Amino acid sequence: MKTRLLPIITAVCMILSTVTANAATVMIDPGHGGAGTAGAGAIYPPYMEKSLTLDVANQLCSELNASGISAAMTRTGDTALSLPERAAIAKNSGAKLLVSIHFNASAAHDKSGCAVWTSMFGNHYKAGAECGNAILSNLSSLGFVNKGVWTKAGSQGDYYGVVRYGTSVGIPTIIVEHCYMDNATDRAILESVGTGSLAHADAAGISSFIGSATGQALVNGGLDTSAANSASSVTVAAGSGKSSGSSGSSANLKANFSDAEWQWLLSQWAYTGNAETVITQVPLSDLKALIEEHNKGNI
Ligand SMILES: [Zn+2]
C-alpha cells in the first residue's frame, strides 16, 4: 500500500524531467485540457470546462503575480496533463500551495453553488480549509451559494487524485469548484459578473490566506506539510534528465511483457498520445514494478 504509487510517480517524473518549471509560491492548475471529450471536462454550450478553467486561471495567475505573490500554471494552453504530472509540476516549481480550478455540473442540472475539496490529513486540511474558506467567502459574495469545504476518503487516502498526489508531495492542495456551469441560476451569475470576478475572488482569497498566520507558516516552512497518504515516500526528481537506465526501443521493451501487460502499460500513457515513445523513457524496473502491482490487483 505504501509504495503502490511510487513506480507511477517515479515514471511520470522521469518523463517530466525535461520540463523546466518556473519558481512559484502558488501553482494554479487549470482543470482538464487536451483534445477530444476526454480533455474537455464538462460540456454545456457555450461552456466547455477546460476553457473556462484556463480563462479563470490566466486571470488569477496575472492578478497574484501583480500583487507580489509568485504564481505559475500547470498548463497555459490546451494540453493534456495527468494528475501526477500536475502535482509534479507544482513540486518542481517549489510551490507551497496547489490550487486546481474547476467548474461543476450535475445530471439533473438542479444543483448550484461553489465548493472546495481538500485533503483530510493534518496541516494539509488546515491550510486547505482556511484557504478554501477565504475563497468561498469571496465567491459567495458574487451570489453563488457557499457549499463549504469538503474532504472525501478513497481507497488510497484522499479520494480526489489531484488532492492525493499534491498531498503526497507535501503541497497542500485544493480543488475550487466555482459554480455549476449547467445550472440556470449559476449561469446567470457567471454571465453577469464574468470570469474576471471569479478570478479576483480566488486571488483575494489566496492573498488573504497567504497573509494569515497559517499562510505565513506555510510559506516560511513553519507548517509541517510532510507528505501524507499512501505515497508518502514519493520524491520528485527535478531536472535529472532522462534515465540512463531507460529501456531503448519499444520493440526491445515489449519483449519483457505479455501482450496483455504491454497493452495495459500503453494504456497508462495513452493520455500522451504517444505512449510507445514515452514508455521507452521509463526504466524497465519501474515498468516491471507497475505490472507487478497491476497483477496483484492494486492498480
Ligand atoms: Zn472538473
Give, for all 299 residues of the chain, the pLDDT tens digit. 444 444 454 444 444 443 445 689 999 999 999 988 889 999 998 899 999 999 999 999 999 999 999 999 999 999 999 999 999 999 999 999 999 999 999 989 999 999 999 999 999 999 999 999 999 999 999 999 999 999 999 988 999 999 999 999 999 999 999 999 999 999 999 999 999 999 999 999 999 999 999 999 999 999 999 887 654 333 333 333 333 334 457 778 888 999 989 888 887 666 555 677 767 766 677 678 778 767 766 55
- Ligand 1 center to residue 250 CA distance, Å? 34
- Ligand 1 center to residue 212 CA distance, Å? 28
- Ligand 1 center to residue 9 CA distance, Å? 22
Q: Are residues 116 and 13 in the same domain?
A: yes
Read off the CATH number of the domain in which 141 is found: 3.40.630.40
Q: Are residues 96 and 42 in the same domain?
A: yes
Q: How many CB atoms lie within 10 A of CB 68?
A: 9
Residue 272: which of 259, 282, 258, 257 has the closest Cα?
A: 282
Q: Are residues 211 and 286 in the same domain?
A: no
- Ligand 1 center to residue 49 CA distance, Å? 7
- Ligand 1 center to residue 4 CA distance, Å? 25
- pLDDT at position 283 is 62
Q: Are residues 215 and 270 in the same domain?
A: no
Q: Is residue 227 part of a domain?
A: no
Q: Is residue 156 part of a domain?
A: yes
- Ligand 1 center to residue 191 CA distance, Å? 19
Structural domain range at position 72: 6-220
- Ligand 1 center to residue 163 CA distance, Å? 13
- Ligand 1 center to residue 33 CA distance, Å? 10
- pLDDT at position 284 is 76
- Ligand 1 center to residue 148 CA distance, Å? 17
Q: Are residues 161 and 81 in the same domain?
A: yes
- Ligand 1 center to residue 107 CA distance, Å? 14
Q: Which of 220, 242, 275 is the last residue of a domain?
A: 220
Q: Are residues 178 and 288 in the same domain?
A: no
- Ligand 1 center to residue 288 CA distance, Å? 32
Q: Are residues 272 and 188 in the same domain?
A: no
- Ligand 1 center to residue 192 CA distance, Å? 22
Q: Are residues 267 and 196 in the same domain?
A: no
- Ligand 1 center to residue 252 CA distance, Å? 38
- Ligand 1 center to residue 276 CA distance, Å? 28
Q: Is residue 121 part of a domain?
A: yes
- Ligand 1 center to residue 28 CA distance, Å? 14
What is the number of domains present in the chain?
2
- Ligand 1 center to residue 284 CA distance, Å? 33
Say what the pTM is: 0.73
- Ligand 1 center to residue 102 CA distance, Å? 4
- Ligand 1 center to residue 202 CA distance, Å? 16
- pLDDT at position 63 is 98
Q: Are residues 46 and 191 in the same domain?
A: yes
Q: Which of 182, 205, 220 is the last residue of a domain?
A: 220
Q: Is residue 200 part of a domain?
A: yes
Q: Are residues 150 and 269 in the same domain?
A: no
Q: Are residues 215 and 258 in the same domain?
A: no
Q: Is residue 232 part of a domain?
A: no
Q: Is residue 231 part of a domain?
A: no
Q: Is residue 46 part of a domain?
A: yes
- pLDDT at position 293 is 67
Q: Is residue 239 part of a domain?
A: no
Q: Are residues 273 and 148 in the same domain?
A: no
- Ligand 1 center to residue 179 CA distance, Å? 11
- Ligand 1 center to residue 105 CA distance, Å? 9
* DSSP per-residue string spanning the chain: -TTTTHHHHHHHHHHHTT--PPP-SEEEEE---SSHHHHH-SEETTEEHHHHHHHHHHHHHHHHHHTT--EEES-SSS----HHHHHHHHHHTT-SEEEEEEEE--TTS----EEEEE--SHHHHHHHHHHHHHHHHHHHHTT--EEEEE--EETTEESSHHHHHHHHTT--EEEEEEEETT-HHHHHHHHHH-HHHHHHHHHHHHHHHHHSHHHHHHHHT-S-----STTTT-----S--S-TTB--SHHHHHTTS-HHHHHHHHHHTGGGT-HHHHHTTSBHHHHHHHHHHHHTT--
Give CA–CA dist 299/296, Å, rounded. 8
